[in-house]
Structure formats: C-alpha cells, structure tokens
Amino acid sequence: MKKVVTQVIGIDLGGTAIKLGRFTSEGTCLKSLTVDTPQPATPEAVIEAIVDAVAKIDPEGQAVAIGVGTPGPADATGRIAKIAINLPQWRNVFLADILEAKIGKPTIIDNDANCAGLGEAWLGGGRFYENFILLTLGTGVGGAIFLDGKLFTGSFGAAGELGLIGLIPDGPQCKSGNQGSLEQHTSIIAIRRRTGKEPAELGALAEKGDAQALTFWQEYGKHLGIGVTSLIYVLTPEAVVIGGGVSASFEFFLPSMKAEIERRVMPTSRVNLQIIRAELGNAAGMLGAAKLAFEKIVKG
C-alpha cells in the first residue's frame, strides 16, 4: 500500500513577491512558485493572487493546511494580520479566515521573520541551538527570538520586532513611529539612501577590493554590532543568525560587527556566542510558514 505523505503549503508574503511551496513533514519541497505581489498590494488583490497561486502549486488539493508569513505582526491566535508596514490598507485583516473560506484549508499566520526563524531552526543555521536570535536584513529588518527551543512571540503575538529597536536617537524616521531604529541604518532601503547603490553592487565592489565599499561595510558592521549588543544583553543567546538579502556580504561586515560586540558586551553575557549566516536563503520564509502549519494545525 502506498504511504500517504502529509503535505502543507507555506507562503511567504512580501512587498514585491509572494513565494509559495508545497512541503512534506520532512521539509522536502514538492513544488514551489513565486509570483509578483500585486501593486497596489491591497488585501483584496493580494488574497486573490494567493488563491490563484495555491491552485497552481496544489491543483489536486493534496495539502491539508496552509501557513502564511506576513510582513508585520499577527495576533496571538495566528488569525489576524494586525499591520503590514510595507503593504497599503493592511490593518486588522482577518487573513486566515478569508483564506480558509476561499481555499477550504485550515490556515494560520505569523510574522514573516518569525517564519524565517522557524525555517532556520528546523533545517537551517539555527538547528544546533536552543537559544538564538535571527535578524533578517532585507527591505526592512525583521527578527525572531528562540528561547529553550521555542519561538517567543510575547503575550500578544508581536514580540521579536528586533529591527525596530532604537539605535541613533536623531536618525531617520521609521514607519513604526520610532526614530533612528536599527532598521533605518541596516536595511536595504537604508543602504540605498546612504550610498545610492544596491547591497549586491557594494558587495561586488568589496570583492574587487574597492576602498569605499570596504569602508562602507565596516561602518555597516559597526552599526549592526551596536544594535545587536542591546539584544545580547537582554537575551544572552547562543547564536545570532544573520539572514536576508544583505547577508550576501556577511564576510565584509562580520569582522567589524564582532569587534563592536566584543568591545561593548561583557564576556559573561557572550559566552561562546556564535555569529553565523543563515543557511536557507530565500526559502526560509515559506519553509518556516510550512513548519508553522505542521506545528499549529497538523500536530495541534
């Protein structure tokens, strides 16, 4: 008799792209698809795009559940997208209920960085650690916290917004309402604002030994190290995992980041601390969203 393989769909909803995958409980991706996020990315347009894409990657309806990572906090029950900072008109969207009604599969949602963290904890750079933090350095800066092997989301589901901590009091205004946040100094948008270049371009220049690019990454690592210092003092993690598109230049900013942490953090708060690059790349979010569905729906 042929063994029935339990499958779920993991969805990573971003401001420019929606990534979907159909996964087994071992994390094997059976089929994946990336579609453009509709512009403007209103809830109605995005939900229609998700429904159409799910039909394409699961035409026979084999998946038993759906997990979705959204670019902003969800409520503690995993039903409501409270805010999506980079998506217009996203306020208290009952995303899980709507997708369940349209697709007919039980659905759960969480912050996209939390999902990336779940992916890295499952099959990526975080799998060797019980206590670690993930920073996703992308268009914005997201974060995830793992304590004693479990994702920490706080009383109301919104904990772990690590990119929104204060860094420089009179720095650029943040969409969160903060000013001079870590995100405003280390995101892709911040890099563009400061240099007029894309991170990949700066990485390529650094590869060639360009002095200005190398200096930029040195300063970048310093800012990142200062921000992470606060997180280390609060959480004393075993590891800091760095993901997102900017992590492609990890080798160029790691030395100054580590030096800043070692200068600012007492040895007792950073015993055997590891600073590592995430392993799953762009697949982390949808893989983690699938893990969320397995943990909260299939097993729950």
107 pLDDT band (50/70/90 cuts)?
A: very high
3-class DSSP state of 134 = strand
Nearest alpha carbon to residue 287 among 81, 57, 48, 25? 25
pTM (2 d.p.): 0.93
Residue 297's pLDDT band (cuts 50, 70, 90):
very high
- Is pLDDT of 32 > 70? yes
pLDDT band at 3 (very low <50, low <70, confident <90, very high): low
The per-residue pLDDT for 63 is 97
Whether residue 300 has pLDDT greater than 60: no
Strand order in the sheet with 7-13: 29-36, 17-24, 7-13, 66-70, 107-111
The string of pLDDT tens digits covering residues 39-73 is 999 999 999 999 999 999 999 999 999 999 999 89
pLDDT tens digit sequence for 196-206: 999 999 999 99
pLDDT in tens, 233-272: 999 999 999 999 999 999 999 999 999 999 999 999 999 9
DSSP string, 243-275: ESGGGGGHHHHHHHHHHHHHHHS-GGGSTT-EE
pLDDT greater than 90 at residue 139 = no
% of the chain beyond a pLDDT of 90? 85
Pair type for strands 239-243 and 274-277? parallel
pLDDT for the residue 173: 86
Q: What is the per-residue pLDDT for 236?
A: 97
Q: Judge whether residue 1 has pLDDT over 70.
A: no
130 HSE (CA, 13 A, CB side) = 1
The predicted-structure confidence for 149-173, as pLDDT tens digits, reads as follows 999 998 888 889 999 999 988 888 8
Residues 6+ apart with CB under 8 A from 189: 139, 140
What pLDDT sits at residue 26?
95
Q: What is the mean pLDDT of the chain?
A: 94
Nearest to 15 by CA among 37, 46, 33: 37
Residue 208 pLDDT class (50, 70, 90 cuts): very high
Distance of CA 291 to the CA centre of its chain: 14
Beta-sheet pairing, 141-147 with 274-277: unpaired
Give the model's pLDDT for residue 2. 53
For 78, what's the count of Cα atoms within 13 Å in the CB-facing half-sphere? 20
Q: Cα separation of 65 and 105, whole Å?
A: 5
* Range 191-220 average pLDDT: 97
